Amino acid sequence: MLILNKTAGVFFKPSKRKVYEFLRSFNFHPGTQFLHKIVLGIETSCDDTAAAVVDETGNVLGEAIHSQTEVHLKTGGIVPAVAQQLHRDNIQRIVQEALSASRISPSDLSAIATTIKPGLALSLGVGLSFSLQLVGQLKKPFIPIHHMEAHALTIRLTNKVEFPFLVLLISGGHCLLALVQGVSDFLLLGKSLDIAPGDMLDKVARRLSLIKHPECSTMSGGKAIEHLAKQGNRFHFDIKPPLHRAKNCDFSFTGLQQVTNKRIMKKEKEEGIEEGQVLSSAADIAATVQHTMACHIVRRTHRAILFCKQRDLLPQNNAVLVASGGVASNFYVRRALEILTNATQCTLLCPPPRLCTDNGIMIAWNGIERLRAGLGILHDIEGIRYEPKCPLGVDISKEVGEAAIKVPQLKMEI
Ligand code: KG4
Ligand code: ZN
């Protein structure tokens, strides 16, 4: 069955087990060596099959990931049934690799944590049913994880960050600003009214046929845009940032995508090429889209900082802004956010890029956070379901809009 039989030979070799127990007895937690917590995290909410084993001090004991990016690049976007099959094909191997790398016995796990919301239904289903089988086999507690909560808390694994802090989550499926007051205590300040910035970048990259560009053929859309933008001129043409008049913290990226599409069509005519060929001005278009997106993200985040300070939800000095999610691995966006945090006496913290995109470590760490806080640890898994749609925290975005805070103009010289 599953992992256990295949790996039992490795895990139960007495010598390794003894060595591990010996090492473990030296771990921090004064006088509580038997309380040392270790969580297996499993992530399948979108197009990455990922697993990791993390302990309560934040040590990553083992990790494995299978990315579907290349397959979906070829089909021009994620086909849910294809993603589901790829998760099915890989989940056992990935979980097994993470466990083997950790060199712990599955019986040493304190719990299994798995993303159950939000995400693609077919993808979430694979991770959940695999996890529930494993939970039954190992007789371990189960910790259901909200994917965005996991992105938000990752920073507490890499940096010493206390609550409250502001988080900006920008990825392929999500875009939101929230105040994080505790492990499972979020105030939602704003979100995208249409698509997420990563989705917009993926669509622009596809329309630019960047898969045919020799330097970008295996990159995700966002990464390809970042790469090409370095060679481009962002002043080549001008796009107005979206929602400029709306004094709230919501986002919009559909307009930006449509305006860019029109610009691409015009350029194709000018250069006399067909859709499907790479424009000579692709780098300029990438640079302009990236810059406009970054300015929009900064402006909405600026208002969120001012709102939180005005309401004493964040300290006046040295408040922390955390940016995470796939798009936060973009260094242009990070530099733009740095201009903002410098201007507002805040500190910008971002997990390293590989922890910004989907991974198993963030799920395992969220499991550790929940174990420590005693929140949402299930000993009975009866009736547990995945939820493709699930908001994060208490939505106060209306209140933010009603405050109608004016945001001063920042010089975005990036
Ligand atoms: O967080 P993530 O791995 O998955 C979701 O939860 O959506 O984010 C994936 C998204 C994709 O849209 C991808 O194009 C974008 O993040 N992305 C980037 C970069 N790397 C990945 N966007 C901009 N710049 C990057 N370097
Ligand atoms: Zn994500």
175-199 per-position pLDDT tens digit: 999 999 999 999 999 999 999 999 9
pLDDT band (50, 70, 90) for residue 23: very low
Flag whether 20 is in a domain. no
Helix, strand or coil for residue 190? Answer: strand
CB 178 within 8 A of CB 313: no
C-alpha–C-alpha distance, residues 58 and 63, integer Å: 13
* Same domain? 85 vs 223: no
Count: domains in the chain: 2
The tokens describing 322, both together, are 């955390």
Tell me, yes or no, whether 12 lies in a domain.
no
Mark whether 344 and 247 lie in a shared domain: yes
- For residue 46, report the distance from its CA to the centre of ligand 2, in Å: 8
Alpha helices in 12-79 (DSSP H): 14-24, 69-75
Does 411 reside within a domain?
no
* Residue 252, pLDDT above cutoff 50: yes
What CATH number does the domain containing 298 carry? 3.30.420.40
Do 78 and 218 share a domain, yes or no?
A: no
Distance CA 205, CA 260 (A): 11
Q: Is the CB of residue 232 below 6 angstroms from any atom belonging to ligand 1? A: no
**Residues 305, 220 share a domain:** yes
Within a 13 Å sphere around the CA of 21, how many CA atoms are in the beta-carbon half? 12
Model-wide pTM > 0.85: yes
Establish if 6 belongs to a structural domain.
Answer: no
Does the pLDDT at position 32 exceed 60?
no
Q: Which residue has the tokens 């294809």?
A: 82
DSSP E strand stretches across 257-338? 319-324
Residue 349 and residue 203 share a domain: yes
Q: Is residue 26 part of a domain?
A: no
- What separation in Å is there between the alpha carbon of 321 and the centre of ligand 1? 19
Residues 232 and 341 in one domain: yes
Based on the domain organization, do 383 and 342 belong to the same domain?
Answer: no
Instruction: Say if residue 214 is in the same domain as residue 342.
Output: yes
Q: Is residue 178 one of the residues assigned to a domain?
A: no
Find the domain containing 93 and state its range: 38-160+355-392
Residue with the larger pLDDT of the pair 376 and 14: 376
Residue 25 has pLDDT above 90, yes or no: no
Tell me 187's DSSP state: E
User: For a substitution probing ligand 1, which of 357, 359, 390 has the most ligand atoms within 8 Å of its CB?
Assistant: 357
For ligand 1, say whether the CB of 351 is within 6 Å of any of its atoms.
Answer: no
Q: Tokens 């209140």 identify what position? A: 399
For residue range 113-162, what is the model confidence (pLDDT) as tens digits? 999 999 999 999 999 999 999 999 999 999 999 999 999 999 999 999 99
- 345 and 201 part of one domain: yes
Query: Over 80: is that where the pLDDT of 27 sits?
Result: no
172 lines ligand 1 (CB under 6 A): yes
- Do 203 and 322 share a domain, yes or no? yes
Question: Is 193 in the same domain as 140?
Answer: no
Q: Are residues 213 and 240 in the same domain?
A: yes
Distance 293 CA to ligand 1 centre (A): 14
Dihedral sign computed on CA atoms, order 194, 256, 204, 198: negative
Q: Ligand 1: does its nearest atom lie under 6 Å from the Cβ of 359?
A: no
Q: Does 165 reside within a domain?
A: no
Question: Is the shortest distance between the CB of 154 and ligand 1 below 6 Å?
Answer: no
Q: What is the pLDDT of residue 414?
A: 87
**Residue 376: inside a domain, yes or no?**
yes
What is the pLDDT at residue 237? 78
Q: How far is the CA of 170 from the centre of ligand 1 (A)?
A: 8
Asked if pLDDT for residue 409 goes beyond 60, the answer is yes
Distance from the Cα of residue 329 to its chain's centroid: 9
